[in-house]
Amino acid sequence: MAEVKTRRRGGGGAARRAERTAVKIECAKYIERNIPNLDILDEAALQIIEANAETVLEEIGVAFVENPAALERWKAAGADVSGERVRIPRGLARKLCATAPGSFVQHARNPDRSVEIGGRNLVLAPVYGPPFVRDIAGGRRYATIEDFRNFVKLGYMSKWLHHSGGTVCEPTDIAVNKRHLDMLHAHMTLSDKPFMGSVTEPSRARDSVDMCEILFGGLDGRTVMTSLININSPLTFDATMMGALEVYAAANQACIISPFIVGGAMAPVSVAGTLTQVLAEVLAGVAYSQLVKPGAPVIMGAFVTSIDMNSGAPTFGTPEAAQITYGAGQLARRLGLPYRSAGSFNGSKLPDAQAAYETSNSLNTGLLSGVNFMLHACGWLEGGLVASFEKFVLDADQLGVLHRMAEGVKVDEEAQAMDALREVGPGGHYLGCEHTQRHFKDAFWRSDVLDYKPYETWEEEGARDSATLAQARVEKLLAEYRAPEMDPAVREALDAFVAERKAAEADSFM
């Protein structure tokens, strides 16, 4: 009997040690705001902007280039079509937008990772689109598929990210006409969070839908992708993006209809003028998605930056961009649409103080403006040309602050802490009181990257700056990465699909 008991004690201790040292891959639920949105436009201003947007659609119109089918849809809906110019009668676009849902669920292959986009929710996704990557060891360089896969792994390992994203960086070592297959395969196999589809050509959107059919065992009307459809501002809808939208809308997959605004270059320099153009473009884009399929899920987007009038370079984290982001949020809520905007925007070349200031401004604006889907939430550098590994983990860490801020302030009996106030009284301290003991583990948000050690300890450990600490964090996360479980038959089917599609056509780097 004694021998049995000894073995049980040893086994229990080993189990506890294993539990303490085991890699835990945590993922916080998408943010549910308990704080108010910041509305900066009054009713009169909103009505002026909405009326002006209708005037733009009716008098100036929008261009649907190289897309005869779109022109036919608009003509049948009652628009005035002249060449490629579509003039939309006042009220028609808004009426068509009414069938778009106010919120929707994007399903992940792990149901626990599914997200609801819309309402009071905020879903965070990583940087999208940079052709370059940067890290301390390798500097600035063209991105590869290995870089892409490592970003997907980091996104999967990052607690505060809810979404795997899309083109986290452009893997330039893979042919342009085939890289979407490798990117989708990485999202599907290296993570079990939701992801985005390809939009660079309609056939690639079709590939995205087909691969999701394999991954999910049939879609059955479920929305499993959210994809970015940029408008070629000002007021131009190109055939490539609209072709991808047509594929996704028909398959009930969500699209972000997002004007790409550089104030002073692609929109007026004034906040009100830019908001007018943004709203006109969104109304036309969302309405078109509903012409393809009424009820197709869609998100109102607003990617906004200003311009340095001396150099022509885009600028980020500016007050004007924030004002447009706040105002667009109000317009989205009046339309009853989910809203996409903001991110870890900055123009810095390095993850330095400029990057931190501009990123912080943009992230906080996104939280307070009511954004529902935040693309570029981590990793953005150099105006979106670079995806930075160190900045990815620094930003992903700081997204925890958004989670805590969105919780609001609790005032229940436990939060009032009257027992602590009575226990400590005048002149005491709260470190040892019972209330503190109950809550010290989760009372305050804690960074997993930043250094709060005493100066002497910091110096002994190498006097590391934030980028160096982030480099160590990247290495740690990648070393601890474990792929989520996956049905071997599904994996084999995905591998076969990718191989077959790649073999079907020659490589193209154009």
Give residues with Cβ within 8 angstroms of 42, minimum separation 6: none
Q: Note whether residue 425 is domain-resident.
A: no
Which positions ≥6 away from 291 have C-beta within 8 Å? 73, 74, 77, 96
Strand order in the sheet with 132-135: 139-142, 132-135, 386-388, 380-381
Q: Is residue 16 part of a domain?
A: no
Q: Measure the CA–CA gap between 240 and 229, rounded to whole angstroms.
A: 9
Q: Which pLDDT tens digits describe the chain residue by residue (510 residues)?
A: 333 333 333 345 554 554 454 566 889 999 999 999 999 999 999 999 999 999 999 999 999 999 999 999 999 999 999 999 999 999 999 999 999 999 999 999 999 999 999 999 999 999 999 999 999 999 999 999 999 999 999 999 999 999 999 999 999 999 999 999 999 999 999 999 999 999 999 999 999 999 999 999 999 999 999 999 999 999 999 999 999 999 999 999 999 999 988 888 899 999 999 999 999 999 999 999 999 999 999 999 999 888 887 887 888 999 999 999 999 999 999 999 999 999 999 999 999 999 999 999 999 999 999 999 999 999 999 999 999 999 999 999 999 999 999 999 999 999 999 999 999 999 999 999 999 999 999 999 999 999 999 999 999 999 999 999 999 999 999 999 999 999 999 999 999 999 999 999 999 988
Cα separation, 24 vs 107, in Å, equals: 23
Domain membership of residue 261 (yes or no) is yes
Confirm if 254 and 106 have CB atoms less than 8 A apart.
Answer: yes
SS (H, E, C) 72-119: HHHHHHCCEEECCEEECCCCHHHHHHCCCCCEEEECCCCHHHCEEEEC
Q: Residue 198's domain is classified under what CATH number?
A: 3.20.20.480
Q: Among candidates 365, 364, 359, 361, which has minimal Cα distance to 378?
A: 359
Contact 102, 118 (CB under 8 A): yes
pLDDT number for residue 16:
52
CA distances in angstroms from 405 to 32, 37, 218, 367, 392, listed in the order given: 11, 12, 38, 9, 20
d(CA 258, CA 437): 48
In whole angstroms, give the CA distance from residue 247 to residue 245. 5
| DSSP 8-state assignment for residue 302 | E
What does the longest C-alpha to C-alpha distance in the chain come to? Answer: 92
Rounded to an integer, what distance in angstroms lies between the CA atom of residue 255 and that of residue 299? 6
Output DSSP code: residue 225.
B
Give the model's pLDDT for residue 183: 98
Find the helix packing angle between 68-77 and 271-292, rounded to 10°.
Answer: 90
Q: Residue 213, SS3?
A: helix
Residue 277 belongs to some domain of the structure: yes
pLDDT of residue 314: 85
Q: Is residue 455 part of a domain?
A: yes
**Cα–Cα dist 245/232, whole Å:** 14
Structure tokens that stand for 28 in this block: 């916080």
Alpha-carbon distance 308 to 416, whole Å? 49
DSSP 382: G
Range of the domain at 54: 25-408+447-510
DSSP label at 249? Answer: H
- What's the domain count of the chain? 1
Residue 377 in contact with residue 343, Cβ under 8 Å?
yes
**Inside any domain, residue 423:** no
Q: Which residues contact 132 (CB under 8 A, 6 or more apart)?
A: 140, 141, 142, 143, 169, 382, 385, 386, 387
Report if residue 280 sits inside a domain.
yes
What contacts 24+ positions apart, CB below 8 Å, involve 315-321?
315/347, 316/345, 316/346, 316/347, 316/358, 316/362, 316/383, 317/345, 317/346, 317/357, 317/358, 317/359, 317/360, 317/361, 317/362, 318/361, 320/263, 320/271, 321/263, 321/345, 321/362, 321/365
Q: pLDDT at position 10, please?
A: 39
pTM: 0.94
**Residue matched to tokens 């905020």:** 122
SS (H, E, C) 170-199: CCCCCCCCCHHHHHHHHHHHHCCCCECCCC
Does the residue 89 lie in any domain?
Answer: yes
Is the bond leading into 234 cis (omega within 30 degrees of zero)? yes
pLDDT of residue 386: 98
The pLDDT, as a whole number, for residue 509 is 84
Nearest of 319, 322, 326, 397 to residue 356 by alpha carbon = 397
